[in-house]
Amino acid sequence: MASSTFFTAGELSARIDAYFTYVEGEFHVEKKQGKEQDDEAGEAKKIMEREPEPPTLSGLALFLGFNSRQAFDDYEENGKFAAILKRGRLRIEAIYEKKLHQQSPTGAIFALKSMGWNDKTESKTGGADIVKTLKIEIIETGPKLAGSEKDVVL
């Protein structure tokens, strides 16, 4: 995908917003008429025309017209509007991050790891790695443990 596809930053931002609106699905509301033909509103029912879908990086890349995730990643790294694509990616990451608080977050964890997240804490010290050693010493206190049931005195 060439950078000329997006003429302005505003157009790209609007297109990204349109993607997030698109994945919400489409519906219309039908109102049932009550038995009485008065002005009172009947029961409303939401009719889905297109089901919602989860936002994904691949979906965003396709919606924006990229031919591959690699092309999206390259443009995000070096393109004229890289910051706008990074914000789009961040919106997707935020949605997955919210899923970490649900009952079964395994899929969200996998997705976030594929987006560069990791489950290791890293310390940036600016210099050589600092090695910390923790010494554990077991101190026996109280009565000596019994070797078998025969040694137990009640």
Domain holding 17: CATH number? 1.10.132
Least confident of 1-10, 105-114, 131-140: 1-10
- What's the average model confidence in pLDDT over 95-108? 87
In a domain, 151, yes or no: no
Give the pLDDT confidence score for residue 18 in this predicted structure. 96
Q: The whole model's pTM is what?
A: 0.64
Residue at 49 is within a domain: yes
Predicted confidence at residue 34, as pLDDT, reads 61
For residue 76, pLDDT over 50 is answered with yes
Residue 55 maps to a domain: yes
Highest mean pLDDT among 25-39, 56-70, 121-135: 56-70
Mean pLDDT of the chain, nearest integer: 83
Strands (E), the chain: 26-31, 44-50
- 127 found inside a domain: no
| pLDDT at 42 > cutoff 70 | no
Answer whether residue 112 is part of any domain.
yes
Dist. CA 77–CA 70, nearest whole Å: 10
- Higher per-residue pLDDT: 35 or 26: 26
Distance from chain centroid for Cα 95: 4
Could you tell me the residue range of the domain that residue 104 belongs to?
Answer: 1-30+43-118
Higher-confidence position of 19 and 118:
19
Q: What is the pLDDT of residues 117-143, one digit of tens each?
A: 887 766 565 556 677 787 777 777 777
Residue 137 lies in a domain: no
Number of domains in the chain: 1
Q: How far apart are CA 19 and CA 21, in angstroms?
A: 5
Instruction: Give one DSSP letter per residue of 75-87, joined into a string.
Output: HHHHSTTHHHHHH
**Residue 128 placed within a domain:** no
pLDDT interval class at 57 (50, 70, 90): very high
- 36 in any annotated domain: no
